[in-house]
Amino acid sequence: MSFATFKDAMLSGETLVFGHRGAKDYAPMNTIPAFELALEQGAAGIELDVHRSKDGHPVIVHDFTVDATTDGDGNVVEKTLDELKRLDAGSWFSDEFTGLKIPTLDEVFEAVGDSLLINVEIKSMDTETDGVEQVVADCITRHNMRDRVLVSSFNPMTLKRFRPLLPHVMIGFLYMAGMQMDTESMIEGFAHEARHPYVDMIDEQYMTWANDNNYFVNTWTVNDPERAKELKSLGVNCVITDAPDLILKAIQ
C-alpha cells in the first residue's frame, strides 16, 4: 500500500501497518536492513528514533545510550558521527548482521524515503534543547520529505520547538499510562494532528474522544494479530508493529 503523502494515508480510511524501528523481529532495529525488510513485507511506513550526534548529525538509535544495540557504550549525544559509525550495530542481533552501521536520517531517507512513509520520533527528555529539532528539520527539508513524514515525541517541549521550524509537517504526541511527568497536561492547547497512545489505552471510548477532537490515532506496539483486528474495527489509523508481515496478514 503506497501513498504520496502522510496526510493522504491518514485520510484513506485504511488501517496502515508501520514497521516499529523497521521489521525489528527479523533484523537489527533502526538499521537500513530492518527498514528495507519492512518495505519488502508490505508495510506502508516505518517508525524510527532520532538523536543529535555531538557534531550535529541526525542519527538513528532507540536508546539514549549505544550499550544495548552496539559493541560500544556511552551516551549517543556525546559521540561524534565518526565515533558512532565505528560501532558494530548488528552482531548483538545475530552474526549475519556483524559490521552493520548506525544509519543517519539522511541515509534512511535516501534508502527508503521514496517508498515508505516515515514516523520520525525525536528522542529527548529535557526541557532545554540540544538542537535536535533543527537538525531533524534541516534533514527533512534537505531531502524534500515534508509531506512524507510525521514527527513524534514523548516530550511536548520537543514538539512545541519543532512546529515553527516546519509548520506543515504533521505532528504526533506519544504517551502511555503511568508516565512520570504529566505530559498530557503539557500538550494541552498545542495544535497537533495525531495521538500516539500505547496500544492498551485504546478502546471504543478512546476512539470516540479522538475522533471528536480530530486526532488521527497511531498506536504501538501491536504484535498480536487478534488485537490488530480489533484496532482496525475501532478505526485506528495506523498500527506500529515489530512484525509487519504477521499483522498485515491478519488485517488484510
Residues with a catalytic annotation lie at 20, 62
**Positive or negative: CA dihedral 51, 33, 22, 109:** positive
Q: Residues 23-62, buried b or exposed e (16+ Cβ, 10 A)?
A: bbbbbbbbbbbbbbbbbebebbbbbbbbbbbbeebbbbbb
